[in-house]
Chain A
Amino acid sequence: MSRMLETHQATYARSGEPVFEPVDLALDAGQALIVLGPNGCGKTTLLRMLAGILRPWQGKIIRHCQPAFLGHLPAFKGDLSCRENLAFQRRFHGGAGLDESRALARVGLAGLGLRPARTLSAGQKRRLGLAGLLVAPGSLWLLDEPYASLDDSGSELVDHLLTEHLAGGGAVALSAHQRKPAIAVDPVRLELKAAEMLP
């Protein structure tokens, strides 16, 4: 099994105050990590740091493969059609994944390729975000609340995609609130603790 991601005592600080306790983790291909913790304990911050958007304040993060990050924000342009958005992501990240129409069909948006992305509903936008993961080559998925605003079939879709991705040798780190992933692999659980506030 190949190592995808390692952190050594990594932590992030906002204006000099650490956000969470230092995190030590190692993620191999085919493994899933679920980040748990109360609101405000830094789950999103940790995932953004693992993706490389934020730099760790202390400690080290080593990525052995290309990550793909899906956050709260849609990360596509409302004035472009779904297909154009996916075509952009594919080229931008140097994609070797699915082509656009197959990715759209896979997430249940078949036939909506020419619709401007801003006309999609909240759940459909999440699905378009998932399609973005499929066209990009990232083998380490970092998903921030992937079940948010999805209906039951959408949540099942996320589970299916996760299972497929893990079976294909990828790795996943995700934060989840209401719903826990129902996937074949038992996920590693990381209880994130908010850092003690200095007096």
Chain B
Amino acid sequence: MIVRSMSALIERDLRLAIRHGGESLMPLIFLFSVIILIPLGVGPGPNLLAAIAPGMIWVAALLASLLALENLFRPDLDDGTLEQWWIGDCPAGALVVARLFSHWLITAVPVIVFAPLAAQMLYLPAEALGVLVLSLLLGTPILSLVGGLAAALTLGTNRGSVLLSILVFPLIVPVLIFATGAVSAAADGLSARAHLGLLGALLILAITLVPLATSAALRLNIE
């Protein structure tokens, strides 16, 4: 019953995303405009670009995830599909997980798939590519989870995106530090396991706590 409701929600979100088209394209366009504009701004030296590549790709992924947050719950609040989450047997926390999973699929997976190409454009050493993808796989779900909590908290405020950004930024600083640290370490030929381990720990913490907090925040906002 719970799995069926969750899969129905994910399927509908993906169907809507395909119909709108732009939701998955936007993060990609964002990623590549950053990657193409940076060398124009700082100069095309391979050493400099390789040094800033992890940070640039991660900042692009982070901002791309942030862009879509405003629309995470608001359309559902406006058309009344959100209040249906509390009717029936399926706990709202499970539906929050489903919604955040589809948000991750739509906004983060395209970035993860094209990140190695973007990294090559910035001369990131090839041995760091695997760690880059791994850090994105571990880190972008945290962005979706933390962003989802902030989106739920700001749902009641009109034009809450400023507040949303202020709420999200301090919480995702550790993610950015450990993820870029992992990629830089791998690029220098060092082991990235410590950084990736900490990222994994953050992910587990976020998966455990965020759905409960998010469903409580949503409930406050539909009342």
Contacts and interface: CB of A to CB of B under 8 A. Distances in A.
Interface stretch (A22-30, A89-97, A99-107, A155-163): A89-97
Contacts of B16: 77, 79-80
Interface residues of A, number: 28
Given A53-B222, A80-B16, A94 B79 contact: no
B81 A77 contact: yes
B8 A74 contact: no
B88 A75 contact: no
Nearest to A116: B19
Interface in B65-124: 78-81, 83-84, 86-89
A94 B88 contact: yes
Interface string B210-223: 00000000010011
A14 B15 CA distance: 37
Contacts of A92: 4-5, 8-9, 84, 88
Contacts of A78: 79
Contact of B83 (A55, A66, A69, A93): A69
A33 B1 CA distance: 29
B193 interface: no
Given A91-B4, A94-B89, A79 B19 contact: yes
A145 interface: no
Given A84-B15, A91-B4, A94-B4, A74 B79 contact: yes
A75 B84 contact: yes
A93 B88 contact: yes
A39 B79 CA distance: 22
A75 B223 contact: no
Interface in A20-64: 48, 51-55
Interface size class of B (residues with CB under 8 A): 20 to 34
A66 B223 CA distance: 21
Contact of A48 (B11, B19, B20, B83): B83
B71 to A, nearest CB: 13
B87 A53 contact: yes
B158 to A, nearest CB: 18
Contacts of B1: 94
A157 to B, nearest CB: 21
B8 A54 contact: no
Interface string A71-88: 111111111100010001
A117 B86 CA distance: 23
27 contacts: A14-B223, A51-B86, A51-B87, A53-B83, A53-B87, A66-B87, A67-B88, A68-B87, A71-B80, A73-B83, A74-B79, A74-B80, A75-B81, A75-B84, A76-B81, A77-B12, A77-B16, A77-B79, A80-B19, A88-B8, A91-B5, A91-B7, A92-B4, A92-B9, A94-B1, A94-B89, A138-B88
Interface of B: 1, 4-5, 7-9, 11-12, 15-16, 19-20, 78-81, 83-84, 86-89, 219, 222-223
